[in-house]
A and B are shown apart, each in its own frame.
Chain A
Amino acid sequence: MAEKETRLTIRDKSVFQSESYVPGSHQINKFIGREHELRLITAAWISGNYSQPMSPLLIGEPGVGKNRLIYELAQKTGRQLYILQGHEDITSEDLACTVRFSDSGNSAMDYILSPLVTAMNKGGICFIDEIGKIRPRALALLVSVLDERRYIDSTLLGERIHAHPGFRFIAATNTADVNLLPEFITSRMRPRITIGFPPKEEIDDIIRDQCSGIKKEVDMLIDLFWLLWTENGGSVGAIAPRDAIYLFGWASRLCAFESTGGMKALKESGSGNPFDLSNSNHFTGIRPEHLRQSFKKMFSERNQSIA
């Protein structure tokens, strides 16, 4: 069954399609805020008989929630999401189609459609993460996808694949890499949307959502969190959600370590009596000292990297 769904015939060639990404409800946090960005991207994607959808480029610091925003958009627009992770070794061929040695006896090679071409074919969303990390010459193939032609030529397949009308494109890059994108791509990727740090209220809500098991103490911990953040030189409203979640997550693990017996239990553990590494009290039981230790850990890491 799965084979049937992923296999496709283009002309007489049998090809495999990439898998879509469906974030599991347990893996992602509740989506909070970002209404302005949602509105701007949705507006950019609206298209009709006489106008084509635009291809937005998201720019922001690591951890601000660019990917999370795209997962939300995929869900809200009811489209399948295909993610291509950008890196320096991607070639232009990788953007369209790659091959692998076949396991079946009928053919020597299997064609694998890239996430981009799969999204174009199925009318899904293609999201290229870290597009700034892809070398400019590899991106040349994207040009015809992003302009009015909306097709891609695959040298390996020897075919031209046209985009389904439902196909939408979006990419993201870290601020540091945006200047590395070539002009022929940036001129076609608009609007360019800068994703800043969320305001304090949104960070508070994200923490409350994460720590839903400790509703009573969470507001006190949030107050302490901001105080520690500012004491360590941060500005209120200038923290990435990922860092905030990391700090609370680390505090939660310190708490779990303590409740499992701490150092004493670890010393007494052995192969016959292993230390329990599962964390059942996820984001619960955090006390102020755990948060303080978590900050200490994070900022000592940061200072080490500076040194």
Chain B
Amino acid sequence: MAPVIEIDGCSVYAVPAVHYRAPFAAEVNRICSDPRTRPEAIAVELAPHIAYELRTWMSELVAGHSELPCMLGLMVKNRLIHPDYFESAVNLQMNTGKQLAEISPQLIKNLLHFSENLLIGLSSTDSIIEAVRCSVGLNIPVYGVDMDEYSVNPGRSPLIEEPVSNSFDLEKYASRFEGMAATFRDAYVDSRRETIMAARLKYIARRFKRILFTGGLAHWVMLKKLLNDPSLKPAEFLDRGPSGEMTRVIIHPKIAVAFMDRYPLMSTLYERSRNSPGEGTLFPAAMETPYNIYRGILDKVYSRYLPESGKNKFSPRNESWKLADFERLMANIAMVHPGSSPSMTEMLACSESMMPQEFTRLLADQLMDIGRPWASIGQFPELPVVYLVPEGSGDRTTPPELYKLVSKSNENNDQGSRYKRSRSFNVNYREAYPLPGNPLDSWEWSNEPKEHGNKAGSFCWVWPPCEALLYGTAYEASALASTTVKKNDSLPFEGSLHEGLDIKATMRSSITGEKKIYVKKTSLSRRTSQPDLTRPEPVVFIFDEFPSEVKPEWSLMLAALNFGNLIKNKKNLYNETVRKFGNYFVTVVCRTVYIEPPEAIRDAVDSYGILEGILKIGHPCINAKQGAEWLEQNDFNACPVLQNTSIHTLVDFYKRHHGISIDESDWKSTLILAGIPYARERVVIIAPAGFKPSLSTFSAAKRRNISLDFLPLNYFSAERIAGMRRRLTVRTSDSYGLHYPPEAERILGEKPDKYFDLFPPLLQQEFAKYSHEGRNENR
């Protein structure tokens, strides 16, 4: 039963609601469907012009769709800073000596909680959206009774019991929790809003006999008081028409979950059990309980996970044991948190902390499966998608929590892109639950508006003699550089204390009755080792630095790109790796200065670079076939795997997956640190005499028990060093890098297999196989 307030002969049916929770939307629908309670007008906690725009849009949407698409939204311009931050705004201007308009929007968002936009989600399970939808179905007016404009202070939500649909009694629920919810009101802004809402409701009450009002539960205590207060007079308000300050958008699913009930699937279940008011039926059977939905989600994940885990050599018994612990943690979470089942965020947090990544990915997939497609540009080509700019994408200076709009491009832009993207901006919105962060990163939206396919650059390959000279030298250096081996011994004291008393050994001796004093002795020895041809150790070349006015660029080079069809046996593992990390298998990280190629070779080369430093991981990948074979041999884990070739993505990858913090401004340390996780025993560093690596490289190596072995650069002739630094790329006629144009060999004056004799004999045989293959295919 909904609370009813009588005002001047008008019955106001109220649905004080917790936003986005289905039982409140269902209550609105029930009141509108039942002829005994069906209202003549609807009032909602929205500004009049927003209610108008929503009503207009909803009538267009409902006309064409039986279900409300999931999820569309309205982006509304905001101009107000919350009064709590007035003083901070003044301080900010004083401290910076700038006007607010001159300060970066991100700083203003962070320090003053100001966003230039508010986002309203057309969420099926929200009582306000349901009320607007019912007004369309019943063809009755809807009034936005809230203040036209007010500032928002993102506060905390009350931790109150989750409503459960099949045993829901609105009146009881409201009377139980309205007081607690009211304590989270914003005293300054909300009291003004409530006064206006009550005055406007009184005005509407004069014109109709029965109205329905829905708004936040937190306002209900004060609204009741004000509606019953005769001193508060009705306030006439102007119906505002359409406003140009609103944009209709598609909300990206990763943001849309913030506007949804406990599990996103509930949106679809609500749609399917929802009644169309005015069609003579009452609200049908109650929705599935959140607990049953939760169990259903888990059962589906288990049925997908257990067969997959079997394939990945986990013992099913071990997996069952892990699942039991996972279930137990979630059951315990439900005990310390009000609600019958953990929320989506809690489920993902538990999974991330307890289960393998694969399980979390399956869980994220299942949670994001709403049983129908998410609204996309394909469905609404005229609407842009609002999305969260991913951290670490492209420009490192992009701060977190910035949003963009992406829309279909009608023009042919220079990049041949199908989409155009807006500048970054800030958005505020009310969240149902805190959004899950990282665990949703692995989820991919099948209708993500992104570019597909290769760019021409993927047909460019490093000229094989450049690779051969560098890698051949690396093999030679690996055999020459010696490793210092430290050995700790405990010896009976015979006159020298060496590295000091070994207390533990002495005590052991005392306990066993030997009663000798033991001392620690460290001895060093050196050994050299032959490079492993399947997985050679990483090698770093540090050449002489360029003068300060020359600015080298970071460049990441790949074993191959889009080589999935070349994988012979481990296709599943490849797909899994690509899905988890990306499809950029980086085997070379280097610092290069690109210069204009000499006139004589300009026609043959795509780019001409001089190296300042380079890290090579694993084999030279002289073409995609050989690169793919090497990656497959090493289970696709012998090098970093990224989503793009930005140095910032590489830095993020090392931080996230190897726990190594890399500061790319220190390029020498970056090269060494990037090699350490892919070494088994050592990283070989060829550097100018006197080079001293930073402490951070030593400590990262020590933690992993990796030796940093050095060889002076001047061991090699100046001519050879100059050759190693030269980096030419040549455009091949195929994407695999097998066929170089014949004129390249003529113009560059060297055969593609020059310097291959520097490779160990086994590798020479392997590479010869590919050069024959290339020639055969040429014919």
Contact = CB atoms under 8 A, between A and B. Distances in A.
A236 B349 contact: no
B333 A227 contact: no
Contacts of A223: 87-88, 91-92, 95, 111
B399 A235 contact: yes
B660 interface: yes
Contact of B110 (A176, A190, A194, A200): A200
Contacts of B700: 176
Contacts of A176: 659-661, 700, 703
A190 B88 contact: no
A261 to B, nearest CB: 29
A11 interface: no
B471 to A, nearest CB: 28
Contacts of B110: 200, 226, 230, 236-237
A279 interface: no
A199 to B, nearest CB: 10
Contact of A43 (B107, B335, B658, B663): B335
Contact of B511 (A99, A194, A288): A99
Most buried by B among A36, A177, A191, A236: A191
Interface in B416-442: 434
Interface residues of A, number: 41
Given A54-B325, A192-B354, A39 B336 contact: yes
A8 interface: no
Contacts of B325: 54, 190
A243 interface: no
Contacts, number: 100
A109 B111 contact: no
Interface string A89-111: 00101000001000000001100
Interface in B298-355: 322, 325, 328-329, 332-333, 335-337, 349-350, 352-354
B79 interface: no
Contact of B111 (A56, A108, A227): A227
Interface in B662-685: 663, 665-666, 677
Contact of B510 (A91, A108, A178, A191): A108
B400 interface: yes
A94 B166 CA distance: 57
Given A51-B328, A219-B87, A40 B333 contact: yes
Contact of A220 (B91, B335, B353, B663): B91
A94 to B, nearest CB: 9
Contact of A219 (B88, B333, B352, B658): B88
A51 B321 CA distance: 12
A43 B349 CA distance: 13
If over half of A's interface residues share one DSSP class (helix, strand or loop), that class is named, otherwise mixed; here it is helix
Contacts of A179: 658-659, 677
Given A43-B333, A109-B510, A226-B110, A235 B659 contact: no
Given A40-B349, A109-B511, A236 B111 contact: yes
* Interface band, chain B: 35 or more
Interface in B70-114: 87-88, 91-92, 95-96, 107, 110-111
B602 interface: no
Given A40-B349, A46-B335, A178-B659, A91 B504 contact: yes
A194 B665 CA distance: 27
A178 B658 CA distance: 9
Contacts of A177: 659, 703
Grouping DSSP codes into helix (H, G, I), strand (E, B) and loop, the B interface class, with mixed when no group exceeds half, is: helix
Contacts of A191: 329, 350, 353-354
Interface in A41-94: 42-44, 46, 51, 54, 56, 91, 93
B336 A42 contact: yes
A99 B507 contact: yes
B665 A306 contact: yes
A194 B352 CA distance: 9
A193 interface: yes
Contact of B333 (A39, A108, A175): A39
A224 B329 CA distance: 42
A190 B353 contact: yes
A180 interface: yes
A44 B660 contact: no
Interface in A239-277: none
A192 B360 CA distance: 13
B225 interface: no
Contacts of B333: 39-40, 43
B659 to A, nearest CB: 4
B603 to A, nearest CB: 44
B704 interface: yes
Interface string A167-178: 000000011111
A44 B329 contact: yes
Interface in B634-660: 655, 658-660
Nearest to B159: A35
A206 B110 CA distance: 17
A245 to B, nearest CB: 20
Contact of B349 (A36, A91, A93, A226): A36
Given A43-B335, A99-B507, A193-B353, A54 B703 contact: no
Contacts of A237: 110
Interface of B: 87-88, 91-92, 95-96, 107, 110-111, 322, 325, 328-329, 332-333, 335-337, 349-350, 352-354, 399-400, 434, 504, 507, 510-511, 655, 658-661, 663, 665-666, 677, 700, 703-704
The 4 closest A-B pairs by CB, nearest first: A191-B353, A236-B110, A43-B332, A223-B91
Given A219-B91, A235-B399, 19 more contacts: A39-B337, A46-B335, A99-B511, A109-B510, A109-B511, A174-B659, A178-B659, A191-B329, A192-B354, A219-B88, A220-B87, A223-B111, A224-B91, A226-B110, A226-B111, A227-B111, A236-B107, A236-B110, A237-B110
12 contacts: A40-B333, A42-B336, A44-B332, A108-B510, A109-B507, A174-B659, A176-B661, A177-B703, A179-B677, A220-B87, A227-B92, A227-B95
